[in-house]
Amino acid sequence: MKSFDFKSDPLTGEQYFEVYLRGQELLTDPLLNKGSYFTLEERASLGLVGLLPHGVSTIEEEVSRALDSYRRKPDDLERYLFLLGLLNRNETLFYRLLSENLTEMLPIVYTPTVGQACQQLSHIMRRARGVYVNPDTIGAIDQIFANSPLPQVKLMVVTDGERILGLGDLGADGMGIPVGKVSLYVAAGGIHPACSLPICLDVGTNNPTLLADPLYLGYRHPRLEGEAYWRFVERFVLGVKRSFPDALVQWEDFAKYKAFTLLERYRERLLSFDDDIQGTGATACAALMTAVRIKQSRFRDERFCIVGFGQAGWGTTSNLRAVLEREGLTPEEIRRRIFAVDAQGLLLEDDPAVDDVQRPFAQPRDAVTGWTLDNPDRIGLADVVRNAKPTALIGYTAAQGLFDERILRLMAEATERPVILALSNPTSRSECTPEEALQFTDGQALVATGSPFPPVRWRGRTIHMSQCNNLYIFPGVGLGALVARAGKATDRMFTAAAQALSAMVTPTEEAQGLLLPRMQHIREVAARVALAVAIEARDTGLGRLLGDDELAQLLASAQWSPRFVPYRPGAHYHL
């Protein structure tokens, strides 16, 4: 049931909402509630007289009031709960507060605090957000979507809760992740909150703690698996195509092989992508592009070692392959420049433990002939670094200290300026610290991390560290694909996004050690990434046939800024 609609006055051109709620109902709708900002005219026409204090506040005054309350909270979880409560009361105020304080609040609304919140979500939930679909309700998927009060749905962030961050199977309590990602789409990308829907595919959980918890709110059954699971997902996708045919679907925090299957099964049928695979890979690739530029080198002259070959490792390697293809290398030449290492060591073609996803990036046995090995039965990371002499080392292992003194010194021997990307979360799981990377490479390493680290003082200068946060990529990709009206999200769009992101790093920032732009420029980052994606969509026949300037103007007008707009009463409720 729609609670409002977007309108434009044909006489004056004024943008306003036609509102179908009145009185207390209006005040309890988070998308429509304006708190003390409601004008006297709106209070009279919308049944609000006497329901609010006399004073009419500016949005700046409301933000100041909210920020003061936020900063009084004693710990991060309480701050998360405060922000979630504000989101559930007054979305425009929430997004204004978040946008103006994004660097401070990002660790609260997303990692690491959102992980702590997801582990307790059934215990701390005050008001459900988004849409939950379970095996008992999937047959009513069209009605479920019709129940949403949003006037237009253009973006969906969807999880089944099986691989939430590094926390594993959290079932329906994983809904905190889509809620957080939608918040970042709005705050960073400027996608309107009335167009954005978090979704949980609640197919059960295999987490015994949740199944035994009397307060757990999810579908209290073991997970659907096999053909039953894929039938469920297919019914969901068909429902999306019927109800929201132009919407973008972002798959989020699915288990590894389900994530790859979803990506391949639906990428041609649905405007969709997987942020854990493609977004992570493009962000890391952007950092590598900056590092290669600082080194005044080319990708074809570098050698890459990716350690931890799950979704993120595969995504990064796929982006590297795309860049190397553009530089004219053959598949065999590309393979000789990328060394993938997982739990069993270097991936080799004849190793039965190498799966179908990993196999295209496995080395032939003859590529390691003559290598000096610590253990003849296994080619470990040290063996790869010593023999292949990579110039860039990228970690997705969550193995604290894996890039130890020996590994880092070997990297320094292999190249004058080694690139060290220790990309695991949280900080306690980082493969090395920035201080270690600099110490054991005599200050020559180009470093980025997956977790936030403070600047490092090294021999009289301050070196800043970029955090390879997917926030640099996914909001812009989503915005650009939607504005371009692309029918699908391609790998080339993510390569274009990475190039646009890297190009934003200024020479001054490069000199300070940064491989990505500063986070305070995230709205501009999203706009630049979105334009690159829209241009790529157009040039490959997938997007609108508009000039670069026209696309830039459309994107600028599409980026919503949190502000209150005028309301006019609708004649009746919309059913």
Query: Mind listing the pLDDT tens digit for each residue in 374-393?
Result: 998 899 999 999 999 999 99
Examine the pLDDT at 149 and tell me if it is beyond 50.
yes
The owner of tokens 């708190």 is 35
* pLDDT tens digits, 169-219: 999 999 999 999 999 999 999 999 999 999 999 999 999 999 999 999 999
CB atoms within 10 A of CB 495: 25
Tokens linked to 405: 């003194």
CATH 3.40.50.720 residue window(s) in the chain? 278-471
- The dihedrals phi and psi of 97, each to the nearest 5 degrees, come to -60, -45
CA pseudo-torsion sign 144, 148, 152, 158: negative
Catalytic residue among 181, 229, 295, 472: 181
CATH 3.40.50.10380 residue window(s) in the chain? 110-270
Catalytic residue among 37, 95, 110, 229: 110
Are the C-beta atoms of 281 and 319 separated by less than 8 Å?
yes
Question: pLDDT grade, residue 575 (50/70/90)?
Answer: very low
Is 567 annotated as catalytic?
no
Are the C-beta atoms of 141 and 236 separated by less than 8 Å?
yes
Q: Which of 107, 92, 14 is nearest to 57 (CA)?
A: 92
* pLDDT tens digits, 528-553: 999 999 999 999 999 999 999 999 99
More confidently predicted of 417 and 571:
417
Q: What is the DSSP string of 265-317?
A: HHTTTSSEEEIIIIIHHHHHHHHHHHHHHHTT--GGG--EEEE--SHHHHHHH
CA distance 239 to 574: 22
Question: pLDDT grade, residue 150 (50/70/90)?
Answer: confident
CB atoms within 10 A of CB 242: 11
Burial environment of residue 349 by CB neighbours within 10 A (0 to 12, 13 to 18, 19 or more)? middle
- Domain 110-270 in CATH 3.40.50.10380? The answer is yes
Q: What is the pLDDT of residue 3?
A: 86
- 278-471: CATH architecture: 3-Layer(aba) Sandwich (3.40)
Are the C-beta atoms of 423 and 472 separated by less than 8 Å?
no
Is 181 annotated as catalytic?
yes
Examine the pLDDT at 89 and tell me if it is beyond 60.
yes
The pLDDT mean for the chain works out to 95
Question: pLDDT grade, residue 572 (50/70/90)?
Answer: low
CA distances from 510 to 277, 295, 460 (A): 27, 11, 17
